[in-house]
């Protein structure tokens, strides 16, 4: 996977017969991922907060020539663990297997808000909801064909730190700092999941991806003040790539036969802001064994979800 090859969505292999769950599939990276997978014959379950918007998106995809039986819309609010459990229960009743879970949805830099279960919203949505969803669907994935969990992190994970003594920001809250914390949590989780799956001899691969700097509603939907100005009014028009380009790392992670568990896929351009997919480096904090163990234990405690894999190392 060198610059000369310039991997694009045209390189996605035939996905006929494969079943994907994509969280946050109605806009941005999630929609671009959904569209690219369906174009190659994959069936996509759009896991979305707003079912009406989800159905509108499907109507647009079908009107562009895609088969309607490639899409299902299911409600999922990652910030509410009850919603995560309800989604997983329904999916398990309807599907004997799942091939790929793309943990894509997220929120960025909102004012301090608590989830339904009382967790800081970014940590709850970006990490805890995806942690719980993955654990509840892992046995369906184990029955899949070339099964994978793709967790979408960010270059911002390298600026993050896990505030284990104040995960909810009760002692002090800074929107971007807590976004960075949630993205570090994604990276730690994806790495730790890989080690536990490998240690248990599971066929499921855990792969990480990040989109570089991509223009999506993430930078403007939840942000306020200077953050919205910097990203939405200045950064996005001048520096950001399109969602179709930004989705390439997670598409590569989800579909390319050469991908190995534990890899981190991001853009190959300067500072990893844009470009074609390539293997990139996790931060030392994301790869730290003690951090991985501690986050896993805290996440199990906060979600009440226990994974059917316990070994931590190959």
Catalytic residue set = 179
**DSSP output for the chain:** --TTT---GGGPPP-TT-EEEEETTTSHHHHHHHHHHHHTT-EEEEEES-HHHHHHHHHHHHHTT--GGGEEEEE--TT-HHHHHHHHHHHHHH-S--SEEEE-----SPSS-B-TTS-BHHIIIIIIHHHHHHHHHHHHHHTSSS-EEEEE--GGGGG----TT-TT-SS---HHHHHHHHHHHHHHHHHHHHHHHHHTT-SPEEEEE---SB--THHHHS--HHHHIIIIIIIHHHHPBPHHHHTHHHHHHHH-TT--TT-EEEE-SGGGSSSSEEE-PPPHHHH-HHHHHHHHHHHHHHH----S------
CB 216 within 8 A of CB 28: yes
Q: Which residues pair with 151 in a beta bridge?
A: 103, 208
CA 272 to chain centre: 18
């Amino acid at each position: 996977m060198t610059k000369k090859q310039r991997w694009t969505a045209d390189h996605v292999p035939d996905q006929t017969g494969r079943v994907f769950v994509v969280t946050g599939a109605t806009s941005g990276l999630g929609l671009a991922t959904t569209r690219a997978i369906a174009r190659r014959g994959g069936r996509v379950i759009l896991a979305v907060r707003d079912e009406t918007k989800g159905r509108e998106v499907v109507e647009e995809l079908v009107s562009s020539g895609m088969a309607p039986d490639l899409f299902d819309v299911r409600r999922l609010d990652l910030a509410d663990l009850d919603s995560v459990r309800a989604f997983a229960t329904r999916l398990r009743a309807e599907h004997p297997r799942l091939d790929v879970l793309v943990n894509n949805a997220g929120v960025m830099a909102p004012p301090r808000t608590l989830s339904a279960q009382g967790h800081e919203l970014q940590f709850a949505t970006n990490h805890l909801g995806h942690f719980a969803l993955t654990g509840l669907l892992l046995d369906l994935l184990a029955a899949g064909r070339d099964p994978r969990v793709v967790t979408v992190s960010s270059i911002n994970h390298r600026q993050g730190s896990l505030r284990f003594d104040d995960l909810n920001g009760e002692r002090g809250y800074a929107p971007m700092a807590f976004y960075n914390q949630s993205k570090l949590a994604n990276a730690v989780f994806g790495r730790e999941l890989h080690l536990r799956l490998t240690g248990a001899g599971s066929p499921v691969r855990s792969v990480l991806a990040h989109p570089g700097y991509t223009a999506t509603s993430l930078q403007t939907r939840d942000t306020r003040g200077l953050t919205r100005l910097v990203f939405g009014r200045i950064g996005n028009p001048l520096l950001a790539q399109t969602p179709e380009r930004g989705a390439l790392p997670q598409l590569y992670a989800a579909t390319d036969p050469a991908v190995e568990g534990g890899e981190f896929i991001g853009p190959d351009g300067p500072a990893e802001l844009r470009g074609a997919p390539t293997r990139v480096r996790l931060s030392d904090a994301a790869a730290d064994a003690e951090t991985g163990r501690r986050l896993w234990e805290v996440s199990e405690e906060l979600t009440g979800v226990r994974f059917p894999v316990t070994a931590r190392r190959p």
